[in-house]
Amino acid sequence: MTTELLQQVRVIDPVSQTDQVSDVLITNGEIQAVATQIADLSPDTQVRDCRGLVLGTGLVDLYSHSGEPGFEERETLLSFLQAAAAGGFTRVSILPDTSPAIDHPALVAQLQKGRGGQGIISSLSSSRLCLPRLNIWGAITLDVAGKQITELTDLAAEGVVGFTDGLPLDNLGLVRRLLEYVQPLGKPVAFWPCDRQLTSNGVMREGADALRFGLPPIPTSAETTAIAALIELVANIGTPVHIMRVSTARSVELLAAAKAQGLPITASTTWMHLLLDTKAVKSYHTSLHLDPPLGNPSDMQALRAAVRAGVVDAIAIDHSPYTYEEKVQAFAEAPPGAIGLELALPLLWQHLVETGEFTALQLWQALSPKPAECLREKVSPIAPHHPAELTLFDPQKTWKVESKTLHSLSHNTPWLGQELQGRVLQTWC
């Protein structure tokens, strides 16, 4: 039996909406007590001074990319899960746009076994980081090609967390049929609304900075027209949907209006869209080439306000690993995406909580119980007799982002080589 006491730790519990300093007693993966002071301890209790540290519910990622299967040089399941654990995540969800795509129950079963799961477990056993739970999104269409709907019932029976292609679907007739088919399955369905005809060859959000930097622009309407069409279908059919990768102020307005009408819609934005705007692209760092692109300053501020207000429910990581060779190209030619599992919490805390723009509870809410709710899951409170699914975070610990400090196989991030403040020390799963 393993019993540990975390003394005087700052407990951030977004489930019960409490933020207070307490002692927390954990035995064999279950919380035994939470109190101002716990003195009655067994002799074998491991006591840990946690003054200045933060203990929160385990972080939940809505969607990210795994290189495996098909692109193991970018990321394996092992490195993906290690990176997630190092970032404080106790549940992660991978998108189906692998090679082959996750469009068949057999591949779901194979991935759930983890391809060498014992190796993953043993590699983490020597650290204080535990193996996150792996959720798998099933593809909506075969080969995520947007043409033929997969065998949704078979995928649901195999245990996918929900359905998405993680790519834009331009066939609204197919989307309408899908919303009808998926309703009785009781699984989340997620869409990335984006009109590729309006996107054209753009790589940067339309505006003054795009003109200044000489990069092909993407109009706001590429996102908002697709969101408006999806909202109309939801209003007509009534199937709950999740809208991924919200990136513009106008999108926030559309979502607020839809929610005010009582439509069953949840939404997420990505962590980088909350931290950076088009001005950052001045460096032409290819890890700032994202899809959807970083917004203008007004977009970033609208997204922050929307997360605080709950119009945008959750913050997703959308971890997108690419090799050095893939990213060393001209900005417009490099594939869009950046890693983020190990960086999101420290940077969001530093730039949003330390500045006073977000409370700690607001940030943790959007990174833990809210994404779980979007997946139709629940996060347990930090309270006696509940499972210890927890993240211990040191907001003052400094570290340098470099290949030897990252668990991800890929290092495509604009923060590479920089020193960050804040690091996860331990997770309980």
Residues noted as catalytic? 318
> Does residue 253 contact residue 299 with C-beta atoms inside 8 Å?
no
Distances (CA, A) of 213 to 219, 275, 283, 341, 429: 16, 20, 10, 29, 45
DSSP code, position 143: G
Chain-centroid distance, C-alpha 106: 25
Name, in order, each residue with C-beta under 8 angstroms of 126's C-beta and a sequence gap of 6 or more.
Answer: none
> Does residue 418 contact residue 328 with C-beta atoms inside 8 Å?
no
Place of tokens 């269409």: 141
**Measured between alpha carbons, how far is 333 from 106 in angstroms, rounded to an integer?**
35
Tell me whether the omega of the peptide bond preceding residue 69 falls within 30 degrees of 0, making it cis: yes
> Does residue 260 contact residue 194 with C-beta atoms inside 8 Å?
no
**Measured between alpha carbons, how far is 366 from 258 in angstroms, rounded to an integer?**
20
- The two counts, helices (H) then strands (E), for the chain are 15, 17
**Measured between alpha carbons, how far is 7 from 352 in angstroms, rounded to an integer?**
26
β-bridge pairing 204-205 and 190-191: unpaired
Going along 303-354, which residue ranges are E strands?
A: 314-316
User: What does the angle CA 340 – CA 341 – CA 347 come to, to the nearest 5 degrees?
Assistant: 65
Task: Look at the chain and count its residues.
Answer: 429
Nearest CA to 408 among 61, 74, 120? 74
